[in-house]
């Protein structure tokens, strides 16, 4: 089936902007709903992209957005979702009820293709509400009837210009003389946002991807301490990193819940109790070669760093 119209829910976010740009490059007509249209300024300028202010949780609004689409991509995700068993209400709304509504609407409208973004290590018995709610979201998507071709993606932490992870630790090191760090030994296998976007877009009309769940990881595993050190080095503000004992780390995470714009919480602390890495055999789909963090992160964390600027020149020169 030729895919010409795609609804990208969560298309205004960090990953979404890269996915939407790739779809637009292929001449695909893309609709992006957003609660704040101005958040997606750069997408509004793309010729085949329509950014619409909409409440995607409203059944009628969702149906109107999904009508006549060849495919729907759901990228909605939040890191702070409140506390609760098995998860807080915001996680339930964004990660579980929304996928349920998307499937129900797709069934009703005869939508044939559905791509859904989950998270690595999502599981019903995972240590955090984020991961437990992501698991229930997957269950909702996988309950779609066979006439809806679904594909799921489970990335490790995603890096790239505008990310909320390495940029956060670079910014903190610009401001503070040292970094008191919870879970310094937590393991990650960061994957480049362009590799994630390529995996999603390439799977859209690829029949082999139907019914599959792709684990998306970069080429190398790092501890959180190593990643924070790299963020400091590339941004030119390398600071001493003090690993916190677990009790203190939880207290720090609790305090961070009251700081707007910082995606750290007791729940994200809980997520880090499981390693965010892929099996050794895992590769990106469609022959995509995972891009090393060292070849990309210096280019956007660089602003004030001479060293990182040199890295950018080296990269451009292919050295
Ligand atoms: N970034 C990572 O490292 C990472 C790692 C693993 C998995 N993921 C998953 O990848 C997906 C994309 O992540 P991202 O980093 O691109 O996230 P992001 O930048 O925070 O973007 C989230 C998107 O979801 C929408 N959204 C958030 N909360 C919503 C709500 N309550 N109701 C309606 N829309 C809402 C936002 O739309 P508005 O324009 O309306 O604000 C935005 O477009 C998420 O599912 C996330 O869980 C990300």
17 CA closest ligand 1 atom index: 16
> How far, in Å, CA of 140 to CA of 136, rounded?
6
- Among 65, 48, 59, smallest CA distance to 9 is for 65
What tokens were used for 137? 């979201």
- Among 131, 135, 132, 72, smallest CA distance to 107 is for 72
Exposure b/e, 279-307, CB count within 10 A at least 16 = b: eeebebbeebebbebeebbbbbbbeebee
Regarding the beta carbon of 298 and ligand 1, being less than 6 Å apart is answered no
Question: 119: domain CATH number?
Answer: 3.40.50.720
Task: Please indicate, yes or no, if residue 127 is contained in any of the structural domains.
Answer: yes
Select from 11, 13, 52, 293 the residue to mutate for testing ligand 1; criterion: most ligand atoms less than 8 Å from CB: 13
pTM for the structure as a whole: 0.94
Q: What's the 3 CA to ligand 1 centre distance in angstroms?
A: 24
Domain count, the chain: 1
Task: Please indicate, yes or no, if residue 273 is contained in any of the structural domains.
Answer: no
Regarding the beta carbon of 13 and ligand 1, being less than 6 Å apart is answered yes
Specify the 3-state DSSP secondary structure of 191: strand
* Angle 269-272-277 from CA coordinates, rounded to 5°: 160
Regarding the beta carbon of 117 and ligand 1, being less than 6 Å apart is answered yes
Task: Please indicate, yes or no, if residue 262 is contained in any of the structural domains.
Answer: no
Sign of CA dihedral 255, 172, 277, 218: positive
- Among 16, 85, 89, 99, smallest CA distance to 57 is for 99
> How far, in Å, CA of 178 to CA of 181, rounded?
9
Task: Please indicate, yes or no, if residue 165 is contained in any of the structural domains.
Answer: no
> Residue 299: which residues within 8 A CB-CB, separation 6 or more?
161, 308, 311, 312, 315
Task: Please indicate, yes or no, if residue 285 is contained in any of the structural domains.
Answer: no
pLDDT truncated to tens, each residue of the chain (319 aa)? Answer: 689 999 999 999 999 999 999 999 999 999 999 999 988 989 999 999 999 999 999 999 999 999 999 999 999 999 999 899 999 999 999 999 999 999 999 999 999 999 999 999 999 999 999 999 999 999 999 999 999 999 999 999 999 999 999 999 999 999 999 999 999 999 999 999 999 999 999 999 999 999 999 999 999 999 999 999 999 999 999 999 999 999 999 999 999 998 887 778 999 999 999 999 998 777 899 999 999 999 999 999 987 454 444 444 344 344 4
93 CA closest ligand 1 atom index: 31
Task: Please indicate, yes or no, if residue 235 is contained in any of the structural domains.
Answer: no
Task: Please indicate, yes or no, if residue 73 is contained in any of the structural domains.
Answer: yes
- Unique residue bearing structure tokens 């979201």: 137
Task: Please indicate, yes or no, if residue 91 is contained in any of the structural domains.
Answer: yes
Let me know: does 103 contact 148? Beta carbons within 8 Å.
yes
Work out the number of other CB atoms within 10 angstroms of the CB of residue 68.
Answer: 11
Bridge partners of 73, per DSSP, are: 8, 115
Boundaries of domain holding 80? 5-158+191-216
What tokens were used for 183? 């879970």
């Amino acid at each position: 089936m030729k895919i010409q119209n795609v609804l990208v829910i969560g298309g205004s976010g960090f990953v979404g902007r890269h996915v939407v740009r790739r779809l637009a490059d292929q001449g695909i007509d893309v609709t992006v709903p957003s609660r704040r249209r101005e958040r997606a300024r750069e997408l509004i300028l793309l010729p085949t992209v329509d950014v619409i202010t909409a409440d995607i949780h409203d059944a009628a609004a969702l149906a109107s957005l999904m009508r006549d689409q060849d495919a729907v991509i759901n990228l909605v995700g939040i890191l702070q979702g409140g506390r609760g068993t098995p998860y807080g209400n915001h996680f339930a709304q964004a990660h579980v009820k929304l996928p349920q509504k998307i499937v129900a609407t797709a069934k009703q409208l005869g939508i044939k293709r559905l791509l859904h973004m989950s998270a690595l290590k999502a599981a019903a018995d995972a240590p955090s509400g984020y991961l437990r709610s992501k698991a229930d979201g997957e269950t909702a998507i996988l309950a779609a009837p066979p006439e809806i071709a679904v594909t799921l993606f489970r990335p490790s932490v995603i890096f790239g210009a505008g990310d909320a992870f390495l940029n956060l630790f670079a910014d903190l090191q610009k401001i503070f003389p040292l970094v008191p760090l919870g879970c310094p030994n937590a393991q990650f296998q960061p994957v480049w946002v362009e590799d994630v976007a390529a995996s999603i877009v390439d799977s859209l009309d690829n029949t082999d991807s139907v019914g599959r769940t792709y684990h998306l990881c970069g080429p190398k595993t790092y501890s959180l301490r190593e990643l924070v050190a790299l963020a400091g080095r590339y941004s030119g503000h390398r600071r001493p990193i003090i690993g916190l004992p677990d009790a203190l780390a939880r207290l720090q995470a609790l305090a961070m819940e009251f700081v707007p714009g910082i995606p750290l919480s007791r729940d994200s602390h809980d997520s880090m109790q499981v390693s965010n890495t892929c099996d050794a055999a895992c590769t990106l789909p469609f022959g995509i070669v995972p891009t090393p963090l060292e070849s990309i992160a210096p280019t956007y964390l660089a602003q004030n760093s001479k060293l990182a600027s040199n890295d950018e020149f080296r990269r451009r020169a292919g050295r």
